[in-house]
Amino acid sequence: MYGYLKGTLEQVKDQSIIIEVAGVGYRVTVSAHTREKLPHMHQGLKLFTTFKVKEDAMELYGFFDEDEQAIFEMLLAVSGVGPKAALNILSVITPQKFPFIIATGDVKSITQAAGVGTKLAQRILLELKDKVKVADLTGLSMEDVQRVPDNEASEAVTALISLGYTYPEAMKAVSAVGDSAKTIEDIIKMALKKMM
C-alpha cells in the first residue's frame, strides 16, 4: 500500500517512531538496526514501509533500506514468524549478514533474537535456504560460504569485522584458511596473513 514515507522524525519510542508527512504523524514500528540509523529529531528521513493488517490492528513497519525490508517480508513468509519475531531477528542480524547466516545454517545467531527458539530458527533456515542468494549479494561463491560452518570460524569472522574488514572480506579470508587452523586465534592469524 505504501512504498515509503518521506518526512521529519517527530518522536522515538522503544520500537516505534512517529514520522510527520504533510502534517500527518505516522506511527512506524522499526528494528533496532533501523533505529540506530535514525537522524536527530525534527530532521528529514525516508523509510521504506510494509503495511500489515491484522484482525485487531493495522501496523506500518519501516526500514532504512530496501534490503532490510525484503528480508522482513521473506521472514514473514516463513510459517510461525510474525512481524514481532521478524523485527527481533533484524534487530540482532544486519541485512548484510543475513544471507551468510542462512547459507551456513547458523541456528545460534538466529536464536539470539528475543522470542526465537531453536525449532523456529531451524524452520527459518529450511524455508529460506533456497530463497536467499549469497553469491548475488557479495561475489562469494556458495562453496566459500559453506566452508565456514563452525562456531570458531564464525567468531573469527566477527573478530575480523571488528578490526575493520567488511563481512565479505572476512568471510573469504576465513574460508580460505579451511581446516588447517583449529583455534580462533590461529584462524584469525592465518586469515590476516591471507588478506595482506
What value does the mean pLDDT take over residues 129-136?
65
Segment holding 147, helix H or strand E: none
Query: pLDDT band at 105, cuts 50/70/90?
Result: confident
Evaluate if residue 121 carries a pLDDT over 50: yes
- Considering the chain, tell me which residue range(s) the CATH 1.10.8.10 domain(s) occupy: 135-196
What value does the mean pLDDT take over residues 102-124?
91
Query: How many helices, marked H, and strands, marked E, lie in the chain?
Result: 11, 5
Q: Tens of pLDDT along 134-163? A: 544 444 444 444 444 456 777 787 788 777
End-to-end CA distance of the chain: 49
pLDDT of residue 154: 75
- Considering the chain, tell me which residue range(s) the CATH 2.40.50.140 domain(s) occupy: 4-65
What value does the mean pLDDT take over residues 20-29?
96
- Return the CATH architecture of domain 135-196: Orthogonal Bundle (1.10)
pLDDT of residue 133: 62
Count of Cβ atoms closer than 10 Å to residue 125 Cβ: 19
C-alpha to C-alpha distance for 72 and 129, rounded to whole angstroms:
15
What value does the mean pLDDT take over residues 159-179?
79
Evaluate if residue 90 carries a pLDDT over 90: yes
CB 74 within 8 A of CB 128: yes
CATH topology (fold) of 4-65: OB fold (Dihydrolipoamide Acetyltransferase, E2P) (2.40.50)
Which sign, positive or negative, has the C-alpha torsion 176, 128, 56, 113?
A: negative
Q: Tens of pLDDT along 4-16? A: 999 999 999 988 9
